[in-house]
Amino acid sequence: MKNFFHFISFGLFAMLIVGCAPSTSSDTEVIPGLDLSNIDTTTSPSSDFFRYANGAWLDRTEIPDDRSRWGSFDELRKKSSENTLAVLKEASESNTYGKGTDQWKAATFYASAMDTVTRNELGVTPLQPYFDQINDFKTITDVQRYNEKTIAYGGRTFFDFAVFPDLKNSTINTAYLSSGSLGLPERDYYTKSDDDSKNIREKYIGHMQRMLGIIGKEKREVMAQSVMSVETKLADAMMTKEKRRNPLNMYNKRSMEDLQKMVPSIQWSAFFKNIGAGDLDSIIVMDINYFEKLEGIIQSTTVEDWKNYSLWNEYNGVASQLSTDIEEANFDFYGKELRGTPKQRPRWERSLGTANGVIGEAIGKLYVDKHFPPEAKKKAAAMIENIRDAFEVRINNLEWMTDDTKEKAQKKLANITVKIGYPDKWKDYGDLEIKDKEDGGSFITNLIAASKWGFQEQLDKIGKEVDKTEWGMSPQTVNAYYNPLNNEIVFPAAILQPPFYNYQADEAVNYGGIGAVIGHEISHGFDDQGSRFDADGNMTNWWTDEDRESFESRNKKLIDQFNNYEALPGVFVNGEFTLGENIGDLGGIVAAYDGLQRHFEANGKPEPIDGLSAEKRFFMSWGTIWRTKMRDEELQNRIKTDPHSPGNFRANGPLSNLPAFYEAFGVKEGDAMFRTEEERVKIW
């Protein structure tokens, strides 16, 4: 039951993970556009702009014990969670929503997550039937049959199955196979020889031994080494995170005959029929090298090793959802060791996060009614169109792109769908069966029910037309994203609030905040991944060879810039892995700046506020949204696993390439933020 929920994490959907505050509950409360008390006046903006914009805040702020990082995003996400919890509780206590309604299901699910009494009474008992089946494994076919029964609950071992749009025909949903399950968050932890990776591997083995001891496994040392051996084999066969960035590598359509020859130990046609996918003629294999090596892994692995790996996979996947002793032991490794976080977040916050993942749009209906004023959507839409127009001008002015490719780029830009606030059509949870305690429901049974419902929803889509009205995030999510298969940019309600958008602030602050986010998401349509997809969301080549070569040479300069950023002593940003987000940041800030100038041309330019020109306030707002402190362990982990660069480099990196920033703050040769014209990167 690994993770219970099926999420595709192949790096195709470029998402900007950013935070913001909920809307104020008081119409009269004035929220400043910029908080000047956060500035470090002893630091020159031309030497370290991130420090200049945020230094006083950095000096006085401690990371809370229940966080691995803390910043403007995190502060405001927590406030947004508090508002979401309030509307959920209000709905539960009002008796407005009858039993069986979506809102009742959301409140009931949350209540079951909070019920630690029942969770402690059950302990690991809910997993015992699965452990018994695993113990009966005698052949690889037994492992396959087990996977067929449990994949609907999120279970996967050496491969996974999912359904989403065909990369080359984005109007139709199709089936995909992806690689297996690992206990550590990235293959690099198994394959790299740096001290941090070796240290984490040793601690992971110790963690497995401790967890297996809790459930009474006498041979836990042997079992832990067995699991590590299997996971290392799987990791060695997996594609690197850098190669996963290229969607061309992820699209390998194979017939059932080809798949059967590739991995003959698995009865593929029977597998797909037994999970409910029916008779498939073909399937898209996302990591072809992995599946070409899988047969050798199967043959070189004993049945006893498969038992150990499968048992750990099930147990580890739900450890945070079992009794408190298991949950705490799980956190000791994944929270304390991996991320350096001293203690867990409050249970209400963890439970709410799970509820948002399971039944988020039902909660979103409540959230939107309370916290999303209609004028926010109207003003955001106007800003988006202004920034899109600015991006259009930038494409026309590109000296490195030929007219033929420009024409196709403009078509893609014009075709971008914009979604703001909340879905026009809400998700229907009518078939989702959630039970309260009186009817025998518990957190685990409700999780299983939700996972089965979600998996069936996927199966029902195979071969069907894609519903492009669906959202990938709930309205209360503090985030934004670009989806290349729909060619759409999406801004949930929760992000359209301070500090990203503040209707009381001047336009320079708003363009430096939400405007840069809008530009970022548009730029994702033209980054190293998004540029592989055309105006209709299909993976086709709309570039001339000459233009693609010019584009990639500019990308290489940006990669080199970020490769030189040292996050910790001897630990550098991975410029290739973070390329898409760095292109998004660079394209986002220049498009937002141009959009602001267009706004001034139409409406007039204001006088300086607090002694800061509009341009300075624009860049100050940009620096503010990346205000972050992070524990060293978390920073180590993110360098390996997160395609976003650390906040200080996201703030400074793009600005070091912008002449407008140089002009606003008087950056000159010899300053740390200065780059020569030849060194500066201009892509979009």
Residue 11: what pLDDT? 33
* Identity of the amino acid at 12: L
Q: What value does the mean pLDDT take over residues 622-647?
A: 97
Q: For position 303, what pLDDT does the model report?
A: 96
Q: How far apart are CA 659 and CA 498, in angstroms?
A: 28
The mean pLDDT of 205-211, rounded to a whole number, is 98
CA distance 308 to 244: 29
Give the three-class secondary structure for 457: helix
d(CA 104, CA 454): 18
Query: Of 208, 178, 191, 447, nearest to 309 (Cα)?
Result: 208
Question: pLDDT for 547-575, tens place per residue?
Answer: 999 999 999 999 999 999 999 999 999 99
Rounded Cα–Cα distance for residues 345 and 353 (Å): 11
CATH 1.10.10.10 given to domain 382-418+496-684 = no
What is the model's pLDDT at position 30?
64
Query: What residues pair up with 568 in beta bridges, in sequence order?
Result: 571
Alpha helices in 61-194 (DSSP H): 72-94, 102-114, 116-122, 128-135, 140-150, 188-191
| % helix, strand, coil for the chain, step of 5 | 55, 10, 35
Exposure b/e, 83-121, CB count within 10 A at least 16 = b: bbbbbbeebbeeeebeeeebbbbbbbbbbbbbbeeebee
pLDDT of residue 1: 34
Average pLDDT of 196-218?
A: 97
C-alpha 683/C-alpha 520 separation (Å) is: 13
Separation of alpha carbons 482 and 150, rounded Å: 32
Please determine, for residue 12, whether its predicted confidence score (pLDDT) is greater than 60: no
Which residue has tokens 């498939």? 280
Residue 18 confidence class, pLDDT cut points 50, 70, 90: very low
Q: Tell whether the model's pLDDT for residue 21 goes beyond 70.
A: no
Contact 71, 20 (CB under 8 A): no
Q: What is the pLDDT of residues 296-318, one digit of tens each?
A: 999 999 999 999 999 999 999 99
Cα-based distances in Å from 494 to 227, 348, 371, 500: 41, 19, 8, 10
Q: What number is the average pLDDT over the span 136-165?
A: 92
Residue 23 has pLDDT above 90, yes or no: no
> Which residue from 2, 1, 3 is spatially nearest to 357, judged by alpha carbons?
3
Q: Considering only 96-100, 264-268, 593-597, which range has the smallest mean pLDDT?
A: 96-100
**Rounded distance, CA 624 to CA 595, Å?**
19
Four-way CATH pick for 139-321: 3.30.70.920, 3.40.50.300, 2.60.120.10, 1.10.1380.10: 1.10.1380.10
* Of 512 and 91, the one with more pLDDT: 512
Task: Give residue-wise pLDDT tens across range 458-489.
Answer: 999 999 999 999 999 999 999 999 999 999 99
Angle at the Cα of 525 (from 73 to 679), degrees rounded to 5? 80
- For the stretch 402-456, pLDDT in tens is 999 999 999 999 999 999 999 999 999 999 999 999 999 999 999 999 999 999 9
- pLDDT above 60: residue 584: yes
Q: Using 50, 70 and 90 to split pLDDT, how confident is the model at 29?
A: low
Is the confidence at residue 28, as pLDDT, over 50? Answer: no
What pLDDT, on the 0 to 100 scale, is given for residue 123?
94
Instruction: Give the pLDDT band of residue 61 (cuts 50, 70, 90).
Output: very high
pLDDT at position 5, please?
27
pLDDT band for position 7 (cuts 50, 70, 90): very low
| Phi and psi at residue 441, to the nearest 5° | -80, 150
CATH 3.40.390.10, the chain: domain bounds: 382-418+496-684
What is residue 620's predicted lDDT score, i.e. its pLDDT?
98
pLDDT grade, residue 166 (50/70/90)?
A: very high
